[in-house]
Amino acid sequence: MNCYIHVPFCRSKCAYCAFYSVPGAADELKKRYLERLIRELASCPETFDTVYIGGGTPTFLEEQDLERIFSVLRTAPGAEISMEANPETLTAEKAAMLANYVTRLSMGVQSFDEAKRRKLGRECSDEAIRRALEYSALFPHRNLDLMYAVPGDSMGGFAADLRLAVASGADHVSCYSLTPEEQTRFAGTVIDEDLSADLWKLAGDVLGERGILRYEVSNCARPGAECRHNESVWYGGLLRGFGPAAASYDGMKRYREVESVTGWLEGAPVEEDVLPPDARRREIFVTGLRTVAGWSRQAYLALPGALKSEWETFGRTLAEFPENLREVSPENLRLTEAGLLFWDSFAVELL
Ligand code: SF4
Q: Whose CA is nearest to atom 7 of ligand 1?
A: 56
Domain boundary among 232, 262, 296: 232
Residue 270 maps to a domain: no
Residue 123 pLDDT: 84
Q: Whose CA is nearest to atom 1 of ligand 1?
A: 17
Query: For 303-316, how does the pLDDT look when each residue is reduced to its tens digit (9 = 90+)?
Result: 999 999 999 999 99
Q: What is the mean pLDDT of residues 45-49?
A: 97
Contact 265, 36 (CB under 8 A): yes
Q: Whose CA is nearest to atom 2 of ligand 1?
A: 56
Query: For 264-306, how does the pLDDT look when each residue is reduced to its tens digit (9 = 90+)?
Result: 999 999 999 989 999 999 999 999 999 999 999 999 999 999 9
What pTM was computed for the model?
0.96
Q: Confidence band (pLDDT; 50, 70, 90) for 141?
A: very high
| Spatial distance between the Cα atoms of 134 and 309, rounded to a whole number of angstroms | 52
- Spacing, Cα 208 to ligand 1 middle (Å): 28
Domain boundary among 232, 261, 285: 232
Residue 263 maps to a domain: no
Report the domain count for the chain.
Answer: 2
- In this structure, what DSSP letter does residue 323 have? G
What order of strands is seen across the sheet that includes strand 295-296?
A: 295-296, 332-335, 326-328
Residue 254 maps to a domain: no
> Given a cut of 90, is residue 172 above it in pLDDT?
yes
Domain boundary among 211, 232, 253: 232
Residue 39 pLDDT: 98
CA distances from 218 to 61, 215, 313, 337 (A): 28, 8, 27, 12
Residue 145 domain boundaries: 2-232
- Spacing, Cα 295 to ligand 1 middle (Å): 32
Contact 295, 289 (CB under 8 A): yes
Question: Same domain, yes or no, for 137 and 31?
Answer: yes
Pocket mutation for ligand 1, best pick of 5, 11, 14 (most atoms within 8 Å of C-beta) = 14
Question: Same domain, yes or no, for 50 and 178?
Answer: yes
Question: Same domain, yes or no, for 25 and 164?
Answer: yes
Question: Same domain, yes or no, for 17 and 102?
Answer: yes
CATH number, domain of 304, equals 1.10.10
State yes or no: cis peptide before 305, omega within 30 of 0.
no
Q: Whose CA is nearest to atom 6 of ligand 1?
A: 17
Residue 64 pLDDT: 96
Residue 244 maps to a domain: no
Of residues 246 and 349, the one with the higher pLDDT is 246
- Spacing, Cα 111 to ligand 1 middle (Å): 14
Contact 115, 91 (CB under 8 A): no
- Spacing, Cα 54 to ligand 1 middle (Å): 10
Q: What is the mean pLDDT of residues 159-172?
A: 98
For ligand 1, which residues put their CB under 6 angstroms from it?
10, 13-14, 17, 19, 21, 55-57, 86, 108
Half-sphere exposure of 258 (CA within 13 A, CB side): 11
State yes or no: cis peptide before 204, omega within 30 of 0.
no
Question: Same domain, yes or no, for 31 and 105?
Answer: yes
Question: Same domain, yes or no, for 285 and 221?
Answer: no
Residue 84 maps to a domain: yes
- Type and span of the H or E element at 177: strand 172-177
Q: What is the DSSP string of 83-117?
A: EEE-GGG--HHHHHHHTTT-SEEEEEEE-S-HHHH
What lies within 8 Å, CB to CB, of 140 at 6+ separation is 103, 104
Mean pLDDT computed over every residue of the chain: 97
Residue 74 maps to a domain: yes
Question: Same domain, yes or no, for 30 and 94?
Answer: yes
| Spatial distance between the Cα atoms of 270 and 41, rounded to a whole number of angstroms | 17
